[in-house]
Structure 1
Amino acid sequence: MALTKKRQQFYDNLLSFFRRHLRMPTHREAAKLNGLKSANSSVQYHQALVAEGFLKKDESGNYIFSSPVDVWPGGNDNNAVIPVLGEITAGAMQEAVESDLGELTFDHLFPNVDNVFALRVKGMSMKELDITDGDYVLLSKTELRSGEVGAVLYNGETTLKKVYKEQNRLRLKPANPEYDDIILEPGESEEVRILGKYVGHLNEHGLFKSPF
């Protein structure tokens, strides 16, 4: 469904704000971004975008984008790229020369980007890896080796932990001493699924790739 010109501009400005700040603007901020006279006008635009399927509300009642492909760089051909403007020495000083060396996209940062998806983190069990509540963790649908960080599904419940394979069980180890290990010993009728391998995360400080 195509949006009206004004609603499309409002939606595009929401996207631009989110990519810069990794959060949705307040109604007051959204009104200012779009030259609206009041925050109530932003509420009306948000409600219209929900009705047309471009936005939705999460469990806490906050507005979020309906389609993650619109949000993350590299998700479609219209997303922003990072220009490479030249080289910089990591040794002795040298003359600064600007040149066009192309562009970086999400594909350069994460090989096989088509297999990458994002989940929002709830909780602090991985804080020693600087993954904290509210961050967006990036996961790849690739093989997870013992000791790597991944998202695990078991009996309808999920968690993000370091996953250690031990004979007929899994040990899920947090990166926070305040949390205990979780031991999974599935029975014959139970299934443990690895949803994805941790490859990086996003928060208000920027994008961080996994060091592993």
Structure 2
Amino acid sequence: MDNAHLTRKQKEFFEYIVDYKKEYDVWPTYREIADHFGYRSPNSVTQNIQALLKKGYLIKRNDEEYDLPSEKKKTLLNESEEKDGIPIRGLIAAGYLQEAVEADLGSITMESLFPNLDKLFALRVSGFSMKDVNIYDGDLVLLMDDDVKNGDIGAVLYDGETSLKKIFWDQNGLRLEAANEDYDDIIVEPDVFEEVRIIGKYIGHINKQGFQRATAKVA
């Protein structure tokens, strides 16, 4: 999905069909769009729809009908987002006992839990080389597109293969250390160091018990 910027006319076209969808819960027909904009031919409607598809503002469903991408639906169609947040139901004392206060104080959203949400992505683990830090086969590791410090766990891409390891480097090169004694360290010599790409910094993982946040390193 490109999500490229729209031209002024494309933006007007997009806003019209979205507003129509919000009001009538169906998309406008080609004829209704043509009448609204004064197009003489349905080809003008097709060209605008194709532009929106190409720029990622619309998608094609399996039934060949167009629709909004899922990440745009809630924002543009005003769908409820309450289920996406954890409700804050009131206040609780952390000192002396006090009267319980129940109130609607909003909700905890993904953005609240992860301020850098736009930098996050997940990968599914295959293998057991990180089992000693409780990361197992099938878990989902949460990674951030951020700098990795010496000794951090991170995802790396090297020689066409990916791996989740503890990352160490010095004048002798790069060492990718497993958290399982059954696996040998991977040593990358200094002259090929630049071929290694750090994909992301590990910040936690998800398993059947829920979300497990990375343990902060002691300085």
Aligned to 1:108: 112
Report the Cα distance in structure 2 between the residues aligned to 1:176 and 1:123, rounded to whole angstroms. Answer: 11
Aligned to 1:184: 188
Per the alignment, in what secondary structure is the counterpart of residue 133 of structure 1? coil
Per the alignment, in what secondary structure is the counterpart of residue 108 of structure 1? helix
Cα deviations by residue, 1:103-162 (Å, 9 ceiling, x for unpaired): 111212222110101100011111222211111101111111111010010000110011
Report the Cα distance in structure 1 between the residues aligned to 2:168 and 2:157, rounded to whole angstroms. Answer: 15
Per the alignment, in what secondary structure is the counterpart of residue 196 of structure 1? strand
In structure 2, do the counterparts of structure 1 residues 116 and 93 end up closer, same or farther at CA, with 3 Å as the change threshold?
same
1:128 counterpart (116, 126, 132): 132
Per the alignment, in what secondary structure is the counterpart of residue 151 of structure 1? strand
In structure 2, do the counterparts of structure 1 residues 96 and 128 end up closer, same or farther at CA, with 3 Å as the change threshold?
farther
Cα deviations by residue, 1:158-203 (Å, 9 ceiling, x for unpaired): 1001101121411111122232221112545960000000011111
Query: For residue 104 of structure 1, what is the amino acid of its counterpart?
Result: I
In structure 2, do the counterparts of structure 1 residues 159 and 69 end up closer, same or farther at CA, with 3 Å as the change threshold?
farther
**How many positions carry a matched residue from both structures?**
144
Alpha-carbon contact 1:186-1:192 (below 8 Å) kept? no
Report the Cα distance in structure 2 between the residues aligned to 1:95 and 1:186, rounded to whole angstroms. Answer: 63
Aligned to 2:102: 98
What pairs up with 1:27-66 in 2 under 5 angstroms?
A: 52=62
Query: RMSD of aligned C-alpha atoms?
Result: 3.0
| Pairing 1:211–2:215 present | yes
Report the Cα distance in structure 1 between the residues aligned to 2:179 and 2:198, rounded to whole angstroms. Answer: 18
1:165 counterpart (158, 166, 169): 169
TM-score, normalising length from structure 1?
0.59
TM-score, normalising length from structure 2?
0.57
Report the Cα distance in structure 2 between the residues aligned to 1:91 and 1:175, rounded to whole angstroms. Answer: 40
Report the Cα distance in structure 1 between the residues aligned to 2:121 and 2:104, rounded to whole angstroms. Answer: 31
Query: For residue 141 of structure 1, what is the amino acid of its counterpart?
Result: D
In structure 2, do the counterparts of structure 1 residues 105 and 179 end up closer, same or farther at CA, with 3 Å as the change threshold?
same
Cα deviations by residue, 1:32-54 (Å, 9 ceiling, x for unpaired): xxxxxxxxxxxxxxxxxxx939x
Per the alignment, in what secondary structure is the counterpart of residue 111 of structure 2? helix
In structure 2, do the counterparts of structure 1 residues 144 and 77 end up closer, same or farther at CA, with 3 Å as the change threshold?
farther
Report the Cα distance in structure 1 between the residues aligned to 2:103 and 2:173, rounded to whole angstroms. Answer: 54
| More displaced 10-residue stretch of structure 1: 83-92 or 147-156 | 83-92
Structure 2 gap ranges (5+): 1-60, 64-68, 73-78
Aligned to 2:91: 87
